C-alpha cells in the first residue's frame, strides 16, 4: 500500500466525516422541517457514501479484499436516503407542518391543505386505503 | 384526494431484490462469516415488510400467496427432522456431519447438515415475524 493511496483514503474519509458534521450543524441551525430534511438527506448521504468508499478502498489496497457488501451498501444508501427524505417531507406537508415564516412561494398550496385534525385523519385514511 | 406513491413504489420494487439477495447471502455465509438463519430470516421479513409498506396488503397477498403460519410450522419440522435423522446412525440427537461433495456446476463444495437445520430456523423466523406483523396490521 503506497503512501499516495494512504493519503487519498484519509482525505476521502475525512471529507465524509466533515460532511456528516455539516449535516448536524444544518439540522441545528436551519429553521423548519423542509430545510432540515434538505440538509439531512443530501449531505448525510454524500458523507456516508464517502466514508464507505474510503473503507472499500482501504480494504482493497491494505488487505487485497474487494468487499462486495460495501459496494452494495453504497448503492443501497445512495438509493434509499433521498427517498426517505422525500417521504418525510411529504408526510410533514400533508400533516400541516408549517413552512418557515419567510417562505415566499408555496406551489402546492392550490391543493388546499387540511385545516383541522379531523381532515388530516380523513386524508391519512384515504392514503392507507388507496 | 388520492396520494401518489410512485417514488416509494418504484424504489421498493428495486430495493426488495437487493434486500432479498443480501438475506440469502447472509443465510449461506453463516458457516464461515457472520450471518446465519436468524439474521437472514429477519432480513427477508424486512424486505416483505417494505413491500407491505409501499403497496397494500391485498396486492402482496396476491403476489406472494403464502400462509406464514404454515411456513413457520414447516421450518420447525425441517429442523426437528435434521435432528431425528442422526438417531438412525446410532449417534445422539442433533449430531451433525460435515463433508466435501462433488456437485454438478459448482464443483467441490463443503456441505454440512447444519444447513438444513439453519433453513428451518430461517423459515421459522420469517413465518413468525410476518405472522406477528400481519396480525397487528389487520386488527383495528
Per-residue pLDDT of chain A (130 residues; tens, 9 = 90+): 688 999 999 999 999 999 999 999 999 999 999 999 999 999 999 999 999 999 999 999 988 999 989 999 999 999 999 999 999 999 998 888 888 888 888 777 765 555 666 666 666 666 555 4
Per-residue pLDDT of chain B (140 residues; tens, 9 = 90+): 456 789 999 999 999 999 999 999 999 988 888 988 999 999 999 999 999 989 888 888 888 888 999 999 999 999 999 989 888 888 888 888 887 877 777 778 778 888 899 999 999 999 999 999 988 887 66
Residue B95 resides in a domain:
yes
pLDDT value for A123: 62
Among A67, A71, A80, A114, the residue to mutate for chain B (most B Cβ within 10 A): A80
Element housing B101 (H / E)? strand B98-103
Residue B17 resides in a domain:
yes
- Domain containing B14: what range? 6-139
Residue B1 resides in a domain:
no
Inter-chain residue contact B11 with A127, CB threshold 8 Å: no
Inter-chain residue contact B3 with A83, CB threshold 8 Å: no
Residue B68 resides in a domain:
yes
Instruction: Answer whether A39's CB lies under 8 Å from A85's CB.
Output: no
pTM, rounded to two decimals: 0.81
**Alpha-carbon distance B63 to B92, whole Å?**
43
Instruction: Answer whether B27's CB lies under 8 Å from B17's CB.
Output: no
Cell digits for B70? 404454515
Residue B112 resides in a domain:
yes
- Cα→Cα distances A74→B25, B35, B103, Å: 17, 20, 34
The number of domains in chain B is: 1
Inter-chain residue contact B1 with A111, CB threshold 8 Å: yes
Amino acid at each position: 500500500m503506497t503512501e499516495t493511496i494512504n493519503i487519498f483514503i484519509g482525505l476521502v474519509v475525512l471529507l465524509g466525516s466533515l460532511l456528516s458534521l455539516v449535516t448536524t450543524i444544518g439540522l441545528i441551525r436551519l429553521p423548519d422541517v423542509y430545510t432540515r430534511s434538505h440538509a439531512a438527506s443530501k449531505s448525510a448521504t454524500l458523507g456516508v457514501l464517502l466514508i464507505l468508499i474510503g473503507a472499500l478502498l482501504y480494504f482493497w489496497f491494505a488487505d487485497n479484499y474487494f468487499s462486495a457488501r460495501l459496494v452494495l451498501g453504497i448503492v443501497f444508501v445512495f438509493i434509499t436516503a433521498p427517498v426517505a427524505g422525500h417521504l418525510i417531507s411529504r408526510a410533514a406537508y400533508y400533516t400541516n407542518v408549517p413552512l418557515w415564516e419567510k417562505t415566499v412561494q408555496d406551489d402546492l398550496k392550490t391543493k388546499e391543505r387540511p385545516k383541522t385534525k379531523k381532515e388530516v385523519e380523513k386524508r391519512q385514511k384515504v392514503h392507507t386505503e388507496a | 384526494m388520492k396520494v401518489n406513491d410512485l417514488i416509494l413504489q418504484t424504489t421498493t420494487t428495486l430495493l426488495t431484490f437487493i434486500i432479498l439477495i443480501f438475506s440469502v447471502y447472509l443465510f449461506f455465509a453463516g458457516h464461515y462469516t457472520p450471518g446465519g438463519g436468524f439474521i437472514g430470516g429477519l432480513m427477508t421479513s424486512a424486505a416483505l415488510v417494505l413491500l407491505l409498506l409501499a403497496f397494500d396488503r391485498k396486492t402482496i397477498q396476491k403476489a406472494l400467496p403464502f400462509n406464514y403460519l404454515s411456513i413457520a410450522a414447516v421450518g420447525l419440522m425441517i429442523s426437528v427432522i435434521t435432528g431425528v435423522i442422526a438417531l438412525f446412525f446410532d449417534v445422539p440427537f442433533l449430531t451433525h456431519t460435515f463433508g466435501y461433495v462433488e456437485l454438478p456446476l459448482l464443483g467441490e463444495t463443503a456441505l454440512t447438515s447444519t444447513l438444513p437445520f439453519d433453513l428451518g430456523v430461517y423459515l421459522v423466523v420469517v413465518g413468525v415475524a410476518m405472522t406477528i406483523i400481519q396480525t397487528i396490521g389487520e386488527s383495528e
